[in-house]
Amino acid sequence: MLTTPIYRELRKMYPDSRLTLLTSEGFGRVLENNPHLDEIIYHNRKETRNDLKYRVHQLRLQKFDLLYDIHNSLRSRWIGWQLKRHTPKLERWLIEKRTIARELQIIFGWGQLFNGRSQREQWLAPLQRHHSIKLSAKTELFPSTADKNYVKAWLKQKDLRENSFICIGASASFPLKCWPLQNFKQLIERIIQTEVSVVLVGGSGERETEELVEYFKSSKYVFSTAGMFTILQSVSLLEMANTVIANDTSIVHLAEAMKTPSIALFGPTVKEFGYAPMLAQSQLIETDLALRCRPCSRTGKGTCKNRDQQICMYSISTQKVWDVVKIQLPKAKD
């Protein structure tokens, strides 16, 4: 979803072009209905070598003029090299992944190497170098009317109004990025004491969400949609929320793409990596401690290197988050 500015700005700069996106199955479906794309080709990331060769053959038939490599991986470089072999005039633009810069910040704390540029702006850089007009790095997603109506029907069934509830994503891809479950429980208790409803969001089988569902099973103010909706239906739900609170995960970016302000909790990762919230109303909350071990990884993957386990997340108090949340609380239903 953070690549969506590229498609819009490419269309703006080259209005008569045909834009084809090659992406993977699964989360790639979040880009469906994008009006700036003429075609989306989905591929299985576990495809065989023969499957990949056939895919390249099919792409070669389209005779592209430009290949914009947003992934810059071994696989995408190989695809580009194969296409270039048969179309010598094919122009290739590669993004800079800033892998070395991240490693230098992790090891030496050299955050200045990022120059304050977000990852959205970084992915736009190849296009920006070819145009003097300042390009917009705002993200956008396009759930269908059917997606929105499905979610509206669910809200009506639960007697929830649009913009009257808060969405919370308590899980993350890696445990290091998770704010303590006890803190989420305390925060939700404070929210529902004001008679504002909470909707838990995320995928099916996520331990943190399941425990919160069990803990609040008797509350009339806490609901769960974990694993219930498609990705674009979830996006519709986030659009209808008043605020979204989550760890450093895709939930924050999904919400912001729909212009819903978010409160993002950062621990092992830092804003310099380029994934901080973008909206003026959104906020990033992190520890007040000067931890030499932070950041400890590029994605939050791995094990904690501090003897005070996950101090970067545990030192973010419930009170600190509540002080931000209470300002944005919607009015309780009459």
- Chain CA centroid to CA 221, Å: 26
pLDDT at residue 334, as a whole number: 43
Tens digits of per-residue pLDDT, 162-190? 999 999 999 999 999 999 999 999 999 99
- How far apart are alpha carbons 84 and 61 in whole angstroms? 12
Tens digits of per-residue pLDDT, 94-135? 999 998 888 999 988 887 778 888 999 999 999 999 999 999
CB 254 within 8 A of CB 139: no
Please state the three-class secondary structure of 45-113 as a single string: CCCCHHHHHHHHHHHHCCCCCEEEECCCCHHHHHHHHHHHHHCCCCEEEECCCCHHHHHHHHHHCCHHH
- 264-276 average pLDDT score: 95
CB 202 within 8 A of CB 209: yes
pLDDT at residue 263, as a whole number: 98
Q: Work out the mean pLDDT of the chain and round it to a whole number.
A: 94
pLDDT of residue 332 exceeding 80, the answer is: no
- How far apart are alpha carbons 126 and 129 in whole angstroms? 5
Query: Within the chain, where are the H helices?
Result: 4-13, 49-60, 74-86, 99-108, 119-128, 145-157, 181-193, 207-215, 231-240, 250-257, 311-314, 318-328
- Residue 180, preceding bond cis, omega within 30 degrees? no
Nearest to 252, CA basis, from 106, 104, 118: 118
- How far apart are alpha carbons 169 and 267 in whole angstroms? 15
The CA-based angle 105-78-16, given to 5 degrees, is 95
Residue 28: band (very low, low, confident or very high) from pLDDT cuts 50, 70, 90: confident
Tens digits of per-residue pLDDT, 193-245? 999 999 999 988 999 999 999 999 999 999 999 999 999 999 999 999 999 99
pTM over 0.75: yes
- 67-92 average pLDDT score: 92
Would you call 123 helix, strand, or coil by DSSP? Answer: helix
Q: Could you give all domains of the chain from N- to C-terminal order, each with its CATH number?
A: 4-128 (3.40.50.2000), 145-328 (3.40.50.2000)
